[in-house]
């Protein structure tokens, strides 16, 4: 209830607006609903765009949040407040129709669900009112297959995504290729880009009957390192980051680089990242 109030928006359009324009309308008291990376991204963006307070509401525990742990930790260092085990019930608004607060119900952990996380159920504690003049919703999106295909539809997986060949991206419909979230469900941008590369090669092969993916050739790499040598027992070194006081006023890269000495030491640990038999390289284009 109350979702029609002004100043309630979705996380993806909010993040897109900033990335396209370099700015996005941001309130003084921002509440973000959700526990994934988009929610944390929106919260950290709101901090940098001048919000006085930014609070995240999530219905499960912090440990169950799908956002990366380091992203959550960075957000907390930057002043974002986290309300876990809290379920939004209603958006409150003023006479002008603008959102003023979120009414929430405290939750407790219940039984485990199919995802391996505990279900949340209502507790007997008093409801909470969290003030807000802007609410950003980041609770996930679902593909609308009927909107994409009003008539004939491609074969879907049990989870409701388009069934696509993992190598070419081809679906059961002639001329239709799929990848990324549409075929695999929510994942990372990197996986979506990789699916686009595979789909492009698959489309080209279907149109020409030939393999023109010239960038997939492999090259032997000479190395002076001994692959049979034992890993060195160096401790794992943390990545240096900008201080919170500096990073909340800009969009500069938060994670910094190791110096050469640290990078070499880390490469010789556990998985021996300093050694590789083969790597894939992209051929220089002459176009």
For 67-81, write each residue's pLDDT tens digit. Answer: 999 999 999 999 999
CA torsion sign for 212, 195, 279, 284 is positive
* Percent of the chain's residues with pLDDT above 90: 67
Predicted confidence (pLDDT) per residue in 75-99, tens digit: 999 999 999 999 999 999 999 999 9
Predicted confidence (pLDDT) per residue in 44-69, tens digit: 999 999 999 999 999 999 999 999 99
Asked if pLDDT for residue 268 goes beyond 60, the answer is: yes
The pTM of the whole model exceeds 0.95: no
Residue 259 is given by DSSP the state: P
The band of 279, judged by pLDDT with boundaries at 50, 70 and 90, is very low
Predicted confidence (pLDDT) per residue in 117-142, tens digit: 777 787 778 899 999 999 999 997 78
Tokens at 40, concatenated: 């944390």
165-171 average pLDDT score: 95
CA torsion sign for 93, 97, 98, 99 is positive
């Amino acid at each position: 209830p109350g979702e029609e109030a002004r100043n309630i928006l979705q996380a993806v359009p909010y993040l897109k607006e900033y990335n396209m324009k370099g700015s996005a309308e941001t309130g003084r008291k921002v509440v973000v609903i959700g526990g994934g990376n988009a929610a944390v991204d929106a919260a950290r963006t709101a901090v940098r765009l001048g919000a006085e307070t930014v609070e995240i509401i999530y219905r499960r525990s912090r440990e169950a949040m799908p956002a990366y742990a380091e992203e959550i930790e960075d957000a907390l260092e930057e002043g974002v407040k986290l309300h876990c085990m809290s379920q939004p019930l209603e958006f409150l608004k003023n006479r002008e129709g603008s959102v003023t607060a979120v009414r929430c119900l405290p939750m407790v952990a219940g039984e485990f669900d199919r995802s391996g996380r505990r279900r949340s159920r209502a507790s007997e504690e008093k409801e909470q009112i969290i003030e807000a003049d802007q609410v950003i919703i980041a609770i996930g999106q679902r593909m609308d297959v009927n909107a994409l295909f009003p008539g004939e539809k491609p074969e879907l997986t049990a989870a409701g995504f388009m069934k696509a060949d993992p190598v070419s991206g081809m679906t059961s419909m002639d001329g239709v290729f799929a990848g990324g979230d549409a075929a695999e469900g929510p994942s990372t941008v990197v996986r979506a880009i990789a699916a686009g590369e595979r789909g492009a090669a698959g489309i080209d092969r279907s149109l020409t009957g030939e393999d023109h993916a010239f960038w997939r050739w492999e090259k032997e790499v000479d190395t002076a390192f001994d692959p049979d040598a034992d890993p060195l027992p160096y401790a794992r070194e943390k990545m240096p980051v900008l201080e919170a006081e500096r990073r909340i006023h800009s969009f500069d890269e938060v994670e910094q680089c190791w110096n050469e000495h640290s990078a070499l030491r880390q490469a010789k640990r556990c998985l021996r990242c300093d050694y590789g038999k083969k790597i894939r390289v992209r051929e220089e284009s002459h176009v």
